[in-house]
Amino acid sequence: MRALPEGRVLTDPDVVDSYARDRTFVEPGKPLGVVLAASRDDVVATLRWASEHRVPVVPRGAGTGLAGASTAGDGSVVLSLHRMTAIKELSPADEIAVVEPGVITADLDRAAREHGLMYAPDPSSYEISTIGGNLATNAGGLRCVKYGVTRDSALGLEVVLADGRILQTGRRTMKGVTGYDLTGLFVGSEGTLGVITSATVRLRRAPAVPPATFAAEFGSLRDAGAAVAAIMAAGCQPSLMELLDRATLEAIDDWRNIGLEPGTNAMLIGQSDAADGQVVAERMERLCVDNGASFVAVSSSPQETEELIGVRRMAYDAKERLGACLVEDVCVPRSVLPDMITAIEAAAARHDVKICTVAHAGDGNLHPVFIFERGLPEPPANVWAAADDVFTHALELGGTLTGEHGVGVLKRRWLALESGPVAQEVQQGIKAVFDPLGILNPGKAI
């Protein structure tokens, strides 16, 4: 790639291998090399070269994905965007920011807070994941119950297409219906339609007072799910509603000694950032008690709040200590959350699989994590069987295979169950329009 400046291309096999993986157990292929893009021009040059030589390109952010979407294939080029870290504009007047794809999610939020604003999407990996990766998977996070997923904050994009052409989508305004919604199309496309090199994102006013937070303990996971359903039905509008099962709490307790009680089989952590947040938190507290909570407490200080949220953010790291993880993220209507929780527990027992479940419970998004022996090339048959049961039941309840992690390679085996032949044909047609040579992240998402 002579058009790229010196030092942009890596070919050392050990270094290249480190860029070929994401956070899953998926074993990557052997890519030709890695491009460390530092600008849009680097991306343009890479894609023009790849189109000319018909070489597959795998876009990559921080490598924190949980579905295998950024794992490299044989003979591909990994296009790393993690050096494109500029916050090009932050406008308090318009409540927007224009950012490059390598910006860390939490860094954008911190920059916005200096102006009394916030960037609402906050996946659990927000301190290490990038805006580009969040856009590629339409990531959610802890605050999505009130503020929506990444697509709800994406106003416009700059995208380099497979042949190197530059496409501008969307706008800087809060409204706009000119033409098709190409911004929404690219968000969640997992690098299969183009490479995002800049994004105009919506910022929101940060809460005027610290949010009020409660933690509730339950003797059963189903009771906790019922409490969530009651809270949402009562119109409490929490800004965060997270559920952790006993297996997850045990993993965290073994690691960080959080003082887990023997009878606690589920914990619910909720938050309100409304002006009357303390009143709302107390109302949610009462609804937890009405639905069987054995203990509930409302935090009395920002420090206590941070400690409670910290427990939730430790969940995945704690589970990784137990073994290899197949991480899933089914989403169901909130009203059937207790039924989905029961189905996950039944699948674990039926197939003798350890499943640790956390959930963005306020929007019905559950993360059952299937633990298996580290070092195996893929999950054993009983793990896949349990996952089959979980996905099938989620679809039967009117849910979806993935709420925020994306399809990648891990969920492609179930795609036909949800999308059907007509949707699959339409999606393949869209792919052919944007990527006629099929070089952009082949074998992923659809």
> Do 167 and 108 lie in a common domain?
yes
Whether the predicted pLDDT of 301 surpasses 90: no
Alpha-carbon dihedral angle through residues 126, 132, 138, 141, given to the nearest 10 degrees: 10
CA distance linking residue 438 with residue 425, whole number of Å? 15
Residue 423 covered by a domain:
no
Number of domains in the chain: 4
The confidence score (pLDDT) of residue 157 equals 98
Helices (H), 194-327: 221-233, 246-256, 277-290, 302-313, 315-320
Identify whether 4 is part of a domain: no
Query: Do residues 150 and 140 lie in contact, with contact meaning Cβ atoms separated by under 8 Å?
Result: yes
- Among 264, 293, 316, the domain boundary falls at 316
Q: Are 89 and 107 in contact (CB under 8 A)?
A: no
If residue 118 lies in a helix (H) or strand (E), which one and from where to where?
A: strand 117-118
390 pLDDT tier (thresholds 50, 70, 90) = very high
**By the 8 A CB rule, do 264 and 246 touch?**
yes
Instruction: Give me the mean pLDDT over the 98-121 stretch.
Output: 98
The CATH number that applies at residue 158 is: 3.30.465.10
Same domain, 23 and 55: yes
Query: Of the ranges 140-144, 228-232, 299-303, which one carries the lowest mean pLDDT score?
Result: 299-303
| 103 and 155 inside one domain | yes
Structure confidence at residue 62 as a pLDDT band (50, 70, 90)? very high
Would you say residue 441 lies in a domain? no
What pLDDT, on the 0 to 100 scale, is given for residue 374?
94
Among 316, 339, 373, the domain boundary falls at 316
Asked if residue 268 lies in contact with residue 225, where contact means CB atoms within 8 angstroms, the answer is no
pLDDT at residue 260 is higher than 80:
yes
Give the pLDDT mean for 349-365: 96
Does one domain contain both 297 and 361? no
Helix 381-396 vs helix 415-434: crossing angle, to nearest 10 = 90
Residue 437 resides in a domain: no
Q: If pLDDT is split at 50, 70 and 90, which confidence band does 1 have?
A: low
Average pLDDT, the chain: 95
Residue 429 pLDDT exceeds 80: yes
Angle of the 337-351 helix axis to the 221-233 helix axis, nearest 10? 160
Q: Look at the chain and count its residues.
A: 446
Look at residue 446 and tell me if it is in a domain: no
Shared domain check, 328 and 296: no
pLDDT at residue 335 in the model:
87
Distance, in Å, from the CA atom of 330 to the CA atom of 361, rounded to the nearest integer, reads 11
Task: For 245-259, write each residue's pLDDT tens digit.
Answer: 999 999 999 999 999
Segment 216-224 mean pLDDT:
94
Q: Are residues 22 and 98 in the same domain?
A: no
pLDDT of residue 69: 96
Is the confidence at residue 300, as pLDDT, over 80? Answer: no
Which of 187, 199, 194 lies closest to 161, judged by CA? 194
Residues 113 and 184 in one domain: yes
Indicate whether 436 belongs to any domain: no
Q: Residue 86: which residues within 8 A CB-CB, separation 6 or more?
A: 99, 100, 103
**229 and 131 within one domain:** no
Asked whether residue 431 is domain-assigned, the answer is no
Q: pLDDT above 90 covers what percent of the chain?
A: 91
Q: Which of 41, 39, 40, 45 is nearest to 57 (CA)?
A: 45
pLDDT at 240 (0 to 100): 95
pLDDT at 124 over 90: no
CB burial of residue 196 (10 Å; 0-12, 13-18, 19+):
buried
Query: Do both 311 and 349 map to the same domain?
Result: no
Mean pLDDT, rounded, for 142-156: 96
Of 205, 222, 237, which marks where a domain is finished?
205
Residue pair 46/3 in contact (Cβ under 8 Å)? The answer is no
Token pair in block for residue 62 = 């921080």
Fill in the DSSP letter of residue 335: G
Same domain assignment for residues 373 and 409:
yes
Asked if residue 243 and residue 168 are part of one domain, the reply reads no
Backbone phi and psi for residue 238, each to the nearest 5 degrees, phi listed first: -65, 155
List CB contacts of 370: < 8 A, sequence separation 6 or more.
Answer: 325, 326, 327, 328, 353, 354, 355, 379, 383, 386, 387
Rounded CA separation 415/134 (Å):
21
**CATH label of the domain that carries residue 367:** 3.30.70.2740
Residue 369 lies in a domain: yes
Structural domain of 243: 212-316
Q: Tell me how far apart the terminal alpha carbons of the chain are, to the nearest angstrom.
A: 29
Which CATH number do you get for residue 272? 3.30.70.2190
CATH number at residue 56: 3.30.43.10
CB-neighbour burial class of residue 282 (10 A; exposed 0-12, middle 13-18, buried 19+):
middle
Beta strand 365-372 pairing with 354-360: antiparallel
Distance CA 435, CA 316 (A): 35
C-alpha 127: how far from its chain's center?
A: 13
Phi, psi of 104 (to 5 degrees): -70, 135
Which amino acid, residue 329?
A: D
216 shares a domain with 311: yes
Rounded-to-integer distance, Cα 130 and Cα 107, Å: 9
